[in-house]
Amino acid sequence: MRPAHLFPILAASLLISACGPSKTASVTPSNDFPTVAHEGKTAIVAHRGYWNCAAAGFAQNSLASLHEAQTKGFWGSECDVHLTSDDIAVVHHDDMIRRRGIHTNTRDSFSPYRLKNGEPLPTLEEYLARAKESGNTVLVIELKPHENAAREDRLVEITLKALREQGLYLPERIAFISFSKHICDVIARECPGFTNQYLNGDLSPEQLAADGINGLDYEQSVIYGDPSIVARAHALGMSVNVWTVDGAKDLQFFIGLGVDAITTNEPMLLRELLDNKELKN
């Protein structure tokens, strides 16, 4: 993949649209997420790793699922990151574990907990170490909303520190997604060149672009409701991902719509449907 520098594309797209009706596809893409100019290919993002695999032994957000996603060579593997009360970044989907909030309890207090495949709750550090080991899959990091802006700032700070320490502060290996507009704003400011997609579905591509956010990753129902979002985002040089799409009918719809990436629980089915239109690293 080429290094991610989306803002030059955004600037180029705006310049082009200001000068006439040229198509975005004529802009040479240099961002990490594929755009319409990437020969119409679509990237597969394994939702929470490869957790819905029919084979036994995988658990969502586990080191094993990440390893499997990388071994299979998917473009991306998504994971969810929270901060414990003692400021340890951990990878887990729900913000509660056995009725105890991750944000309000220490990392050590979750030591007895095991994922479905027997692994302990992974820290972000462990997750990044595994990501480095087994392939060049892009880690799509979902930074979870926290109680207030200060805790969200801390989550970003600790995540970026971990990425730097692991040598993974690389736009071609990391993409950020979040439901928190505040987190997206911080990433836009602090991580220029990194893919930064907003998840919540309540803002238009134009509103996001105006705030320097260079991508969106909306739930399939949002884009079904207004498919023009995709072309409008592309015209602004933004990357478009859609979550979480399963089943051949829905997958086909979004392939046809030309989204850049699809987050799915059925990555092998998506691969089959894409055939030679799958974007790989």
> Which residues would be at the binding site for Mg ion (CB under 5 A)?
80, 142
Quote the least distance from Cβ 142 to Mg ion, whole Å. 4
Quote the least distance from Cβ 168 to Mg ion, whole Å. 18
Quote the least distance from Cβ 223 to Mg ion, whole Å. 17
Quote the least distance from Cβ 66 to Mg ion, whole Å. 13
**Cβ closer to Mg ion: 12 or 97?**
97
Q: How many Å apart are CA 91 and CA 124, to the nearest integer?
A: 6
**Side chain identity, residue 249:** K
Which residue has the closest beta carbon to Mg ion? 142
Considering only CA atoms, which of 174, 235, 245 is closest in space to residue 206? 235
**Side chain identity, residue 92:** H
Residue 16 is classified by DSSP as H
Q: Can you spell out the DSSP letters for 91-147?
A: E-SSSEETTEESTTS-SGGGTT-B-TTSPBPPBHHHHHHHHHHS---EEEEEE---S
**Cβ closer to Mg ion: 27 or 138?**
138
**Cβ closer to Mg ion: 24 or 61?**
61
Q: Is 90 helix (H, G, I), strand (E, B) or coil?
A: strand
Quote the least distance from Cβ 93 to Mg ion, whole Å. 6
**Cβ closer to Mg ion: 17 or 244?**
244
Q: How many Å apart are CA 147 and CA 158, to the nearest integer?
A: 16
Contacts of 143 (CB under 8 A, 6+ apart): 81, 152, 155, 156, 159, 176, 177, 178, 180, 183, 187
Quote the least distance from Cβ 78 to Mg ion, whole Å. 5
**Cβ closer to Mg ion: 31 or 263?**
263
**Cβ closer to Mg ion: 95 or 126?**
95
